[in-house]
Amino acid sequence: MLTALAQPQKLPVELAPGKIVGLEGPAGLGLTRVGLSLLIAPSQVGTVVAIDARGGWLSPLAAWEVGVKPSRLVVVRCSNPRLWAKVCAAVLEGVAAVYAEVPTGVGENELRRLAALTRARKAGLALRPLRGQLPAGITHLRLKGRAVSWEGPERGHGSLTERQLSLEVSGKSLPWQELQATA
Amino acid sequence: MRTICVWFPDWPLAGMPEDVCGFVYEEGRAAGGETERVAAANRLARQAGVTIGMGRRASEALCPIATSKARDLGEETRRFEPVVASLEDLVPRIEVVEPGLVLIAVEGSLRFYGGEDILLDKVIGTAGPGARVGLADGPFAAYWAARTAVNEPNVVENTMEFLSRLDISVIDREEMIDTFRWLGLTTLGALGELPRAAIASRFGDEGLRAHRLATGEDRPVNPRPIPPHLAVEAHYDDPLESLDQVAFSARALSARLMNDLRREGIAPHRVEIEAESARGQVRRRVWRSADPFLEYSLVERVWWQLRAWVEGEGVEGGLVRLRLDPSDLSGRGRQLALLEQSEMGWETYDANRPEAERALHRVQSLVGPDEVLQGERQGGRMPGEQVLWFRFGEEPTPAERDPLAPWPGATPGPAPALVPPEPRPIDIEWEGGMPHRVRLGARWEQVVNWAGPWRLLGRWWKGEEAADRYQIVTSAGAFLVIVRGERTFLAGIYD
């Protein structure tokens, strides 16, 4: 169980087979890297896929940096909401885990079907809606980006080194809580 | 592994009169939704039709005048201890499954005794009347050999053939047995003939276990490596003398062991209990379970064993040390909680699944081959340049820029997770040559801090302008920005 932490720590979240993690919040609050880091463990055993719904923005550099095996990571670009669910379902049929950006316009029913497929196929799925929230009852764990602060730059000097995230964590059988983590 | 099983069917019946119907019941599911079932029945009860595993109420209906009592495993263990001790004089490290049931691995002592038959005779002689003895490959087959033995020991030469004749109910999973019967699979042999993959995909972990049993693989053929230092030990400066103290410490130590194992995602099939008395006498006993031990089942066994030692021969001077050493570890037997730190979740995943490739080819047919990509690192000063993209399923073209070259002037710090295919114009307000505000969509964000500029000399021979790079931090996140002349561009979001 997560406990509210006074001191920041490494993010203690993992993507287990058959589980769905939701990552909500605007770009900049640090959730892409968190989402990609969920692929580390599955990439040790099988192919993992990142679905890019922003039209080619997703960079695999960050994934490699956090420890995802480069040879096991495949990036699929699909920002068409009518095709997206089909693509995601096809990917889930075969690979170990998926980090998927959800374009606006994907229906709730399609997401529920994907959730069921994820459980049935024992894959791991991290959903990152580009706008808004995921419907209730889909995810086992939901991370909401609240704030981010960076260390390193000092009015021109230095460079980005480490960040501290403030996340809201909630999920099935978990009470709501706020978590400070470096990630 | 050749294994002898010694089973005393009437062990729980001790102290029960022989001249009236009598049986001992225990908790457990039985037909008709009963929650108590018969663990042992005496001769008269058996003649009346009472069988092991039958529900308590059904048995009482068959035999209304029967005397019955609940099973007391602690007491049975205490009585069983001398039997185990004398068997252990024959063969070291025998395994107790429950009072009245032990398993003996034959292999180690064959050479000593000079053959299976001689060893078997000695075991029968030591166990005495009332014991049923079976010899087969593996604990499961040996147990059923003993169960089906009547007066003579049941020596199974061809274990596969023996198993294939057993009724499907021996797998001891009620819901699955019904389904198997409904599907027309009435024997283990019929189950064993089906492809394992099909059974596993339809019935999951439990189905796989049943199939393994049916095909003579008693245990997963690929046991997990045993992480070191899993044994737990407790020393007591003041020797524990009362049974209550011993019970309390046994519970605490068992809980500690299971907690440690849970963190590793494993549960043991075998636990060695070792106790040392104040006089220096060390006693050891191995307990085994067909299903991996859970905390309560381990606590129970440790408690029975200690009680048997304390109440039997006694622990002289009190107990000064207790050690629990797990072995034969299984990965199954418990459900991982969502946030548990454990690598076991993905361990059973088959990395060479052909499905991954097939799935990605299907995706290629949906979105086109140019949208299903893999990347390789290559050299470059901007994050966008450092990825060499290639289509999934094709070989990468040789890198244009050497990733191992030094690349002075490369953008420092972590890579931005979001990099636009081409730098996008972005509005930045400057004050005294320093970034002051950034426009994100419709709102302006105050710049909290920034790093840079780092000069980027463009390829002037190709007409590229020189540019400056900044890392700009706002409360909404950090951005990589390029300033080229009067214009500013977004080159990455540190998301």
Q: Give per-residue pLDDT as tens, A108-167.
A: 999 999 999 998 888 999 999 999 899 988 998 899 999 999 999 998 899 998 888 888
All residues of chain B having their beta carbon less than 8 Å from the beta carbon of residue A45 are 346-347, 349, 351
Question: Domain for residue A35, yes or no?
Answer: yes
Same domain, B432 and B484: yes
Q: How many structural domains is chain B composed of?
A: 4
Contact yes or no for B356 and A95 at CB 8 A: yes
Amino acid at residue number B355:
E
Is residue A1 in some structural domain? no
Looking at residue B421, its pLDDT comes to 92
Question: Is A27 inside any structural domain?
Answer: yes
Residue of A nearest to B433 (CA): A156
CB contact under 8 A, A153 and B449: yes
Contact present, A103 and A111 (Cβ < 8 Å): no
In this structure, the answer to whether residues B199 and B257 fall within a common structural domain is no
Q: Which of B353, B367, B420 sits opposite A87 (nearest CB)?
A: B367
Nearest CA distance, B103 vs chain A (angstrom): 36
- In this structure, are B236 and B326 located in the same domain? yes
B434 is a domain residue: yes
Q: Do B253 and B315 share a structural domain?
A: yes
pLDDT, residue B338, reads 41
**Is there a contact between A174 and A2 (Cβ–Cβ < 8 Å)?**
yes
In a domain, B107, yes or no: no
A31: contact with B, CB 8 A cutoff: yes
Q: Let me know if residue B400 belongs to a domain.
A: yes
* Chain B CB within 8 Å of residue A86 CB: yes
Q: Which domain holds residue B325?
A: 232-330
B344: phi then psi, degrees, rounded to nearest 5: -70, -25
Decide if A4 is inside a domain: no
The tens digit of pLDDT for each residue in B104-139 reads: 888 777 778 878 888 888 888 888 888 899 998 888
How far is the alpha carbon of A168 from chain B, nearest alpha carbon, in Å?
A: 15
Among A residues 102-161, those touching chain B with beta carbons less than 8 Å apart:
140-141, 147-150, 152-161
B104 vs B87: CA distance, rounded Å: 9
**pLDDT at residue B333 is higher than 60:** no
On whether residue B173 sits in a domain, the answer given is yes
Q: Confidence band (pLDDT; 50, 70, 90) for B236?
A: confident
The Cβ-side half-sphere exposure at B182, using a 13 Å CA radius, reads 6
A23: confidence class by pLDDT, cuts 50, 70, 90: very high
Give the range of the structural domain holding residue A143, as residue numbers without chain letter: 9-182
What DSSP assignment string belongs to A15-67?
--TT-EEEEES-TTSSHHHHHHHTTHHHHHHS-EEEEE-SSS-B-HHHHHHHT
- In chain A, what residues touch B492 (CB-CB under 8 Å)? 59
Task: Judge whether A37 lies within some domain.
Answer: yes
From the list A88, A106, A76, the residue with the least C-alpha distance to B364 is: A76
Share of chain B above pLDDT 70, in %: 91
Residue A33 to residue B412, Cβ atoms within 8 A: no
For residue B227, tell me if it sits in a domain. Answer: no
Does residue A75 fall inside a structural domain?
yes
| B308 part of a folded domain | yes
